[in-house]
Amino acid sequence: MPTFVLDARTATPHFPGIGRYVRSLAQAMAPELRRGERLTLLTGAGRPFQVRGTDTVGVTASPFSLAQQWSIPAQLRRLDAALYHSPYYLMPYRPGTRAVLTVYDLIPLRFPEHSTLRARLLFRGLTRLALSTARHVIAITETARRDYIAEFGLPPECITAIPLAPSPLFEPQPAAVIAAVREKYALPPRFVLYAGSNKPHKNLVGLVSAWTAPASLAEAADADLVIAGPWDERYGEARQLADAAGDASIRWLGRVPDADLAALYAAATVFVFPSLFEGFGLPVIEAMACGTPVVCSNATALPEVAGDAAVLFDPGAPDAGATLRAALERVLGDAKSRQQLSERGLERAARFSWTETARQTLHLYRTIAGTDA
């Protein structure tokens, strides 16, 4: 009876993206287990994360703790684990059993100006160590897979692309639910939504610049710009730019609870995602799943995810701001185009499912553990 162990210590607010991946994967894998298979989740002490059909074991060592180098292997021995899956490169590097690692992007290396030399050296060195530990690596897109092969010289057969998917929460919303979210956040009748962090690679400065220059897009398009997501005070340039322009059409919601996010997407006239670098770009497919037309950049993995269901622009072009502004103005001004984008987006999002992600992941587990009979 093989026991597969998924390290769920990152299922906390400190790891919003990785945490969502771990929670969604565990919930989708549980009903796909075969008779005799067990899925055990390692969770942080005091942070219970339970999924029906799985076992949960609390551990005290965090992913940042040196103690995990001996405490996690000891726990894996007690569980007689056939396989250990780490969703993060900070992991036990001698787990004592077959290991699988999930990787996402190379942002610290692609944007060195936004991290210290020490942070970059640690990322590169510890990622290399994690990759050498893993029997097999999962990348969240084919783009990310190629990046890791090129950067770290991985044999192509040792890394597999298994995509993410939108949560089942993200779907077209009832009018009453949308109305309630509109009232809660005092949203205007028409607005362009951005959802995500304000880290530099997200290109909020580029978005605000395109919105405000040469004059506010709000007047030409009869819409506001609503920016939602966690805010890191280290990167305040976008807000400073909006304040300097005196543009009252730009709204800052901060972090929005997941319970409101689907309705926020559905309420938006257009969703915009101007990112410079993404390993996947989950908000794009979440917005599509809610039926919202999408305008996004063509950087890194985003064309792979969006397909032909979004209006794409090049964020690195000399005229990127003007191109983004023109795309937003065109989509905002054309109801037929928005309807077509909405329909294509719903079809595109339906191609991504956590059930399929779970099945591919479990197939990999069984192959590595030698139980895929």
Distance, first Cα to last Cα, the chain:
13
Cα distance between residue 110 and residue 172, in whole Å = 36
Label residue 153 left, alpha or beta by phi (over 0 means left) and psi (-120 to 50 means alpha): left
- Which secondary-structure segment (H or E) carries 282? helix 282-289
Check residue 373 and give its pLDDT.
Answer: 61
DSSP secondary structure, 213-267, as one string: SSS-HHHHHT-EEEEES---TT--HHHHHHHHHT-TTEEEEES--HHHHHHHHHH
Asked whether 170 and 286 are in contact (CB, 8 A), the reply is yes
Residue type, 4: F
User: In this structure, which amino acid lies at residue 243?
Assistant: D
Rounded CA-CA distance 367/208 in Å is 48
How would you label 191-203 residue by residue, b for 16+ Cβ within 10 Å and e otherwise? bbbbbbbbbbbbb
> Phi, psi at residue 225, to the nearest 5°?
-110, 120
Across 20-148, where does the E strand assignment appear? 38-44, 55-59, 83-86, 99-103, 136-139
Q: CA 74, 20, 81 angle in degrees (round to 5)? A: 25
Whole-prediction pTM: 0.94
Six token digits for residue 78: 């007690």
Strands 99-103 and 136-139: parallel
What pLDDT does residue 45 have?
Answer: 74
Query: In this structure, which amino acid lies at residue 28?
Result: A
Angle at 144 between CA 97 and CA 106, to 5 degrees: 90
Helix (H) or strand (E) holding 75: helix 68-79
Do residues 192 and 272 make contact, with C-beta atoms less than 8 angstroms apart? yes
Three-state SS at 88: coil
HEC string of 327-358 equals HHHHHHCCHHHHHHHHHHHHHHHCCCCHHHHH
Q: What is the DSSP letter of 275?
A: -
Q: Determine the Cα–Cα distance for residues 87 and 123; give it in Å rounded to an integer.
A: 15
In angstroms, the CA 207 to CA 191 distance is 14
One digit per residue, the tens of pLDDT, for the chain of length 373 reads: 799 999 999 998 788 889 999 999 999 999 999 999 999 999 987 766 789 999 999 999 999 999 999 999 999 999 999 999 999 999 999 999 999 999 999 999 999 988 899 999 999 999 999 999 999 999 999 999 999 999 999 999 999 999 999 999 999 999 999 999 999 999 999 999 999 999 999 999 999 999 998 888 998 889 999 999 989 999 999 999 999 999 999 999 999 998 999 999 999 999 999 999 999 999 999 999 999 999 999 999 999 999 999 999 999 999 999 999 999 999 999 999 999 999 999 999 999 999 999 999 999 999 999 987 6
CB 245, CB 261: distance < 8 Å: no
